[in-house]
Amino acid sequence: MSRPATIIGFGALSVDDIYYVDAPLQAGKGRVVRRASAFGGNVATALVAASRLGAEASFIGWLDEDPDDPVVAALKAEGVFTDDAPRAAGCRPVRSTITVGSDGDRFIAFDDDVRLGTAPDLPDTVLTTAGALLIDGYATRSPEAVFRARSLGLPVIADMEWSEGETTDLLLEACDHLVLPFGFARLHTGQKRPRDVLHALWSDRRSAVVLTDGSNGAYLLEADRRPRHLPSHSVSVVDTTGAGDCFHGAYAVALVRGRDIGDCVKFAAAAAALSVSGRGGREALPTGWAVDDLLEAKGAPAFQLL
């Protein structure tokens, strides 16, 4: 067994082929000005973000049994533990092709016909020694692990981007911290206004519902049932790839450090804002001091009641 990890997670690991073009995506076409390959994945990038912010992080999803697997090596190089991850031959990463427009917006095409989730016999000690569990949409491959984590009292922070029907509904119901893209949450609930989406997702079992909406900022509902909006930071955008994953990981870091929910959202939003200044999902993931500096800067956004 590895040392106890503050933040654990399972979900997507990916290898990304990234194409930067000289026009916005809405233009329909553009000239490629740069190509790059990088490692990504929702939970994997969130855990790397948590590690850069000073937390102990551990990936507990399926990994290839090859000790020299480059995806595993990339996680370890970022300080993410993998000792508790189940292993099997032929566990390939998701392969993604990402097109990034001149305005930093991106489109992701992916092939996820790979083994995802985690082992059904994951030891309880892995869950009970952690401070939070991060999951993404691929938790639908191992919902029992999420339900067990909640039964053991572990906070579960969910970042879903698509629905796989009843299993997704059950996972969303079980998770106490929903950190969801506004676009997905709006489609899932059938509501349009942020305040209505927040209320539709709320239940008394929740600690927080957070909606991330890019340059429009973030929305929060917690136990006081007063929906709030946090405007975005004013930053220069190079590439938005991984910004949501960074938000997810930074939120977990603030949570396990005992910050209140509002401060968790502020910390996560500042980290995500810094992350869009570099190319790919991990290049510009910030350190804790950089996040604190941005939060303390003059004119930093503050919550407003919706």
3-state secondary structure of 15: strand
The predicted structure's pLDDT at residue 1 = 39
**pLDDT block averages, 10 residues each, the chain of length 306:** 73 91 94 91 95 96 92 94 94 92 90 94 95 96 97 96 92 96 96 98 96 96 96 89 92 97 97 89 88 92 95
Tokens of 249: 């990981």
The three-point CA angle 64-252-201 to 5° equals 105
Greatest distance between any 2 Cα atoms in the chain: 52
113 CB burial (10 A radius; 0-12, 13-18, 19+): exposed
The predicted structure's pLDDT at residue 256 = 96
The predicted structure's pLDDT at residue 4 = 55
The DSSP code sequence of 72-136 is HHHHHHTTEE-TTS-EETT-PPEEEEEEE-TTS-EEEEEE--S--S--TT--HHHHHT-SEEEEE
Reduce the secondary structure of 184-243 to three states and give it as a string.
HHHHHHCCCCHHHHHHHHCCCCCCEEEEECHHHCEEEECCCCCCEEECCCCCCCCCCCCH
Domains and CATH numbers, the chain: 9-305 (3.40.1190.20)
How do 132-136 and 156-159 pair as beta strands?
Answer: parallel
